[in-house]
Amino acid sequence: MFTASGATEVLSKLLYPIFDFLKIPVDLLPLIVTRPLSSGASIAVYEELVQRCGIDSFEVLCGSIIMASTDTVFYVVGVYFSTMRLKTRYTIPCALLTTVFCIFISCAICRLFFE
């Protein structure tokens, strides 16, 4: 639904300067957006990325590391914190910051070892 609505193209155009500066492929944008929200959706986006870019492409290698090093932030916080009835005061911002850091490091590792 995210791709079909055209939101991917709009976000890609808006975030291209940032992604270009950080050396992150713009093709990873749908994966980066869906990974913190839904595991199933991010797997579907990753499969589409593999079919579109090819199994040995830089984008797929980065996507593989992103899939392995990040988690569905909102699901984990919702399930674990609601069970223990804890407040999520700084948890979500810190988890999202960690996700952004993992994305940057994933692309840097791929660039270091595979380019």
Has residue 110 been placed in a domain?
yes
Distance of alpha carbon 102 from alpha carbon 4, whole angstroms: 27
pLDDT of residue 101: 92
Please tell me the predicted confidence (pLDDT) of residue 60: 94
Q: Please report, in angstroms and rounded to a whole number, the separation of the first and last CA atoms in the chain.
A: 33
Residue at 13 is within a domain = yes
Write down the pLDDT at residue 78: 84
Q: Does residue 98 lie within any of the structural domains?
A: yes
Please give the residue range of the domain that contains residue 101.
7-114
**pLDDT of residue 52 exceeding 90:** yes
Domain annotation covers residue 29? yes
In a domain, residue 1? The reply is no
> Taking 90 as the threshold, does the pLDDT of residue 22 lie above it?
no
Domain count, the chain: 1
Q: Is residue 78 part of a domain?
A: yes
Q: Average the pLDDT over 10-24 and give the result.
A: 86
6-33 average pLDDT score: 86
Residue 2 has pLDDT above 90, yes or no: no
- Whether 2 maps to a domain, the answer reads no
Q: What is the pTM of this model?
A: 0.83
Residue 76 predicted with pLDDT over 90: no
Asked whether residue 83 is assigned to any structural domain, the reply reads: yes
